[in-house]
Amino acid sequence: MKTKTPLFKSLQRNIDYMKSQLDGSADFTVKDFTLKNDVKCAVITMEGLVDKNTLGQSILNPIISGDMPCGDSKNVYEYISKNIVAISETKDIDCFEDAFVMSMSGFALICVDKYDKMLACGVQGYSYRSIAEPETEITQRGSREGFVEPIKINMTLLRRRIKSPALKFEQMQIGTLSNTLICMCYLSDRVDKKILENIKQRLNDIDCENILSSAYIAEYLENNTRTTMFSTVGISERPDAVCGKISEGRVAILIDGTPSVLIAPYLFCESFQTMDDYCERPFYATFSRWLKYLAFFIAVFTPGLYVSAVIFNPEIFPEQMLTKIALSVADTPFPIVWEVLIIHFIYEIMREAGLRLPRSLGHAVSIVGGLVIGDAAVSAGLIGAPTLMVVALTAISSYVIPDIYGPVAILRLILIIVAGFSGLWGIVTGGALIVISICSLKSYGVPFTAPFAPFMKQGMRDSFIRESIKKLSKRRYLVNNTKGFEENAQN
């Protein structure tokens, strides 16, 4: 526990101490003045973080022109706090550590000479990105609003959608250097208290200097970061999606400075769900989810199955297809395993280049890569056309489930290598190990593979299929029922 430095009663000593700590920082501003009753005061701000109009109209002008009571500095401070300042968000500060954090968060600090407290007033006025549709979670018929960087605006986006007193916001600061503000959002009548306390304890135990993105916190909230490639903590940039998760008993974690919101607990089946599923008719939403599960198996297993079939079991292919594959393999200089791996790595390189470059250049990279690899490489006999088709199919399938693209890419690479040595037996063994690994995970006591394993009939209504909104609204499925999961597993 860090020891805190209390404020001095001398106004000048407080200002000098803050200046010495900031070492003459150019954005540290002090406006000192004397009240009508000859009491010295000062307003401390950080340049660029406050709204100057609000600061002048709600703080400076009322204090300077107001009639102050006679008496000691404590009476003047309390009178300013209760009767003068026209700001709803205020907080009393008694140490320098809180004073630095509040001033660097866009608060104005009102100091009165001969009193060892400061009044922090919320006059934030820094610029930020306007609310727009998130690029990572596109929807056709849903809301076009996405989270932005300021945490207060993100809290507003959630409150607008859940107008219930049960929606709670708990704030805390983490990061020994950044002092990043985070906020836990949950419904008090639906969240599991044990899960809530567990998340709160893990957040308090975070030992990190800077919290610059949601990924910094996600690793501290997960159970087995070294033994699995799948994340047991979800992430979203859509307020409507987060509200849906909160209504199921989950906890959302907002981080100041990032538009990505963490969600816990998180289940494997949620990687195959989108907001468009609830905007379409149930039959098409169910069909869409089936396509996503099929795309997952295609993206993970198809290259490995192709390699194992070409090397160990060519009789699987029809005669005409086998002839073309054999001619293609004979005309290329690389073994089939190396051929698939080379195309796989080239595709990943193109993907990274398209993501990092500006959009206009990113499209150019995709076009050039498609022309060079898809036409020139095949024409030159470096790559076989069937192999290219298999890798292209797996690449397209990977984009159907972007939430788990990372694990899919790594698993696909491992199964290609295993198939080159062990054939179909290696694919079967690898698939079994993947299933065992996924089934062994838990997210705050909730099985990661629920409601499939353990099987829960109520949860199946919105997992592999999507029933009508009328049926889903009658009895909502809550993921916080860990006791129900344990009883179901025993049965």
Share of the chain above pLDDT 90, in %: 35
Q: What is the DSSP letter of 262?
A: E
The pLDDT value recorded for residue 84 is: 87
Please list, in sequence order, all residues whose beta carbon lies within 8 angstroms of the beta carbon of residue 127, skipping any fewer than 6 positions away: none
For the stretch 312-344, pLDDT in tens is 988 888 888 888 888 888 888 888 999 899 888
The pLDDT value recorded for residue 367 is: 62
Q: What is the DSSP letter of 150?
A: -
For the stretch 5-14, pLDDT in tens is 899 999 999 9
For the stretch 336-363, pLDDT in tens is 999 899 888 888 888 887 777 776 666 6
- Helix runs in 357-468, H state only: 359-371, 377-379, 385-400, 405-422, 424-439
For the stretch 64-90, pLDDT in tens is 887 777 778 888 888 888 888 888 888
Q: What is the C-alpha separation between 190 and 166, in angstroms, rounded?
A: 9
For the stretch 172-227, pLDDT in tens is 989 888 889 999 999 998 898 999 999 999 999 888 888 888 888 988 898 766 67
Q: What is the C-alpha separation between 175 and 182, in angstroms, rounded?
A: 10
The pLDDT value recorded for residue 276 is: 84
The pLDDT value recorded for residue 13 is: 92
Contacts 24+ apart (CB under 8 A), 81-88: 81/119, 85/58, 85/59, 85/110, 85/119, 85/121, 86/57, 86/58, 86/59, 86/62, 87/54, 87/58, 87/59, 87/121, 87/122, 87/123, 88/122
The pLDDT value recorded for residue 361 is: 64
Q: What is the DSSP letter of 335?
A: -
Q: What is the C-alpha separation between 168 and 139, in angstroms, rounded?
A: 28
Q: Please, which residues bridge with residue 95 across strands?
A: 6
Residue 477 has pLDDT above 80, yes or no: no
Q: What is the C-alpha separation between 485 and 456, in angstroms, rounded?
A: 8
Please list, in sequence order, all residues whose beta carbon lies within 8 angstroms of the beta carbon of residue 410, skipping any fewer than 6 positions away: 229
The pLDDT value recorded for residue 306 is: 93
Q: What is the C-alpha separation between 151 and 156, in angstroms, rounded?
A: 9
Share of the chain above pLDDT 70, in %: 93
Residue 235 has pLDDT above 90, yes or no: yes
Residue 119: closest CA among 97, 136, 134, 103 = 103
Q: What is the pLDDT of the chain when averaged over all its residues? A: 86
The pLDDT value recorded for residue 476 is: 64
For the stretch 388-429, pLDDT in tens is 889 889 988 998 998 899 999 999 999 999 999 999 999 999
Average pLDDT over residues 20-44: 87
